[in-house]
Amino acid sequence: MIRTILVIFLLVLPFFFLRSYGQVQNADSIKISNVVNNFFNWYVEAIKYRKDGDFQPKFVEDRNGMTTLDCSSYLQNLERFNFSDSLILSEKQSYKTCVDNLAKVKFSEFKIEWTDLDDFEENNCDFSNYYRWIGLMESIDGIRIIAVDLKKINIAFVRIEYFSFGVNNSKDFWGSNSVELIKLDKNWKINKILSCK
């Protein structure tokens, strides 16, 4: 009798673990989806309402009258919308060449002379010519999540698809990206946004 109960217990036990694991996965999938949706909703809205300093660095004058970039609001927003520290650091470093080149240009001259896209491209400062986190020169109206794939307990990939509003406010879907997230402590952070087009 005890042996039969033990056998039944051992057969049923894995189902309890699987059910518990499935509930954890569902809870994580919801958290992951919220992180991705919250970021892209903010990003698309900031682009739409031309809040340039919120979604990319701003050209400003430093205390010596030279040109530089102010990344403070932009980087704070990335932190607020759950970008990982390593991705924020990488993003900050990606503007180093631009900042170094701008340091040689008086702000008064910058405002008058830098009128052509070539000026920005030659100095690695052409970031305002495209939308960094969607990888396009045109804006979008939103995203939809196609799939959430938990690779490990602390790594996830989210496949997203872009949409624009078409005729009769219908959503026209096109283009896609993959977002990598990592779990740090109990929080999911965006670690990479990979273009999949």
Task: Label residue 96 by pLDDT band (50, 70, 90).
Answer: very high
User: What is the pLDDT, as a whole number, of residue 167?
Assistant: 84
User: What is the pLDDT, as a whole number, of residue 5?
Assistant: 58
User: What is the pLDDT, as a whole number, of residue 168?
Assistant: 86
Distance CA 162, CA 140 (A): 7
- For residue 150, give the 3-state DSSP assignment: strand
Residue with tokens 């631009």: 98
Task: Label residue 18 by pLDDT band (50, 70, 90).
Answer: very low
Q: Which of 141, 165, 127, 152 lies closest to 44 in space, CA to CA? A: 141
Distance CA 87, CA 101 (A): 23
Q: pLDDT tens across 163-195, in order?
A: 999 888 888 888 888 999 999 989 999 999 986
Cα dihedral 72, 78, 80, 81, rounded to 10, equals: 160
Residues 36 and 158: beta-carbon distance below 8 Å: yes
Cβ-based neighbour number of residue 10 at 10 Å = 9
Residue with tokens 């799939």: 147
Q: pLDDT tens across 138-162, in order?
A: 899 999 999 999 988 899 999 999 9
